[in-house]
Amino acid sequence: MNVIEAILKPTDRWQDTIRGRLRVFALDLVNNGKRVDQVPVFSGAPRAQELVDPRQDYSGSLRPIPEGIYKIGQPEEHPQGDWGPGIGRLWIPLEVLPEYRVNNRGDFGIHLDSNFATSPGSAGCPVAQKMPTLQTILGWLFAKARPKWLVVDHGQGLLKARGYQYLNFARNPAGVAGKPWLRYPINNTRRAWLDLIAWAEGTGKHPGEEQYRVMFTHKLFSGYADHPRQIQGSGRLRSDAAGRYQFLSTTWDEAKRALGLPSFSPECQDQAALWLIDKKRGALNLIDSGIQIESALNRLSWEWASLPPGRYGQPVRTYAECVQFIRSWQFGVLD
């Protein structure tokens, strides 16, 4: 199945205009993680080009379109245009998804900046300076496999907070630009289960990125080149488990081979955990359902000893605790 995405990201390039400088944004068409086309666009008004957390943005700020995910509507004709704000005769509506509507700014649209020469920029809409740019975007939308969503990524943290990851041609684990890496997308539900495993295993008590560097007995390792492969002891127990999801080195090697993972980085650890959930324990469809929590726990408890009902004689979390954890995520308590 092809995953077609439109991704809008800021660049470090600027264009001088009669009203001030405008940042150049790159609008990419991405197919299964590989960029297949790119056009430059502008967004926001000159002197209002600051990129902020959308939760701190507000109506009338004239800043660039806020970070988030937008549904791309069908292009609409506007025969008369609206020459005041520079909207030409064509409008491509963008409707922000509810979970990313975190301020009182309205919806946006992609259009031609018809009065760029005299009043460049926009009130936030992504705009094309020239007609060929808009025609290229229209070509994407009228193709057989069209992008249905626009991912706006300014690096301000909202996408991460909502647990969303997209296939990124520029950041595949091997670092090979243009080479797709078909990984498991991580939505809110999957992030909740990854957090549950870390919480149950005890690594979740560590702050931030440190969770990915925890070994058995909570000692920390340094560097992500590979699994540390260091046996640690506590009482009569000995283990080389490491990482946020406490991978044994043998388990890690299995996932690493299956996914072609080049390192033990946090991103690769997330993918390996999802691979274990999916391919080794057959529980990905259960967690994706959002309701089959006990069934998923029964399967995953064979992989993670801390999950109920407990398979290996070690301390475990209860079903009630785990259900409450997942429900809290689903209802936004932990968001």
The residue from 5, 201, 267, 303 that is catalytic is: 201
Rounded Cα–Cα distance for residues 16 and 117 (Å): 11
Q: Which two tokens stand for residue 298?
A: 């029964």
Share in percent of the chain as helix, strand, coil (round to 5): 30, 25, 45
Please tell me whether residue 83 adopts helix, strand or coil conformation.
Answer: coil
Residue (of 72, 40, 64) closest to 122 by Cα position: 64
Rounded Cα–Cα distance for residues 165 and 162 (Å): 9
What's the Cα-to-Cα distance from 37 to each of 69, 127, 151, 279, rounded to whole Å? Answer: 19, 17, 15, 33
Q: Diameter of the chain by CA atoms?
A: 79
Give me the helices (H) in 184-282, please. 188-201, 249-259, 266-275
Per the annotation, the verdict on 99 as an active-site residue is: no
Rounded Cα–Cα distance for residues 147 and 111 (Å): 17
Q: What one-character DSSP code corresponds to residue 33?
A: T
Q: 37, 136 in Cβ contact below 8 A? A: yes
Tell me how far apart the terminal alpha carbons of the chain are, to the nearest angstrom. 30
Q: Would you name the residues annotated as active-site residues?
A: 201
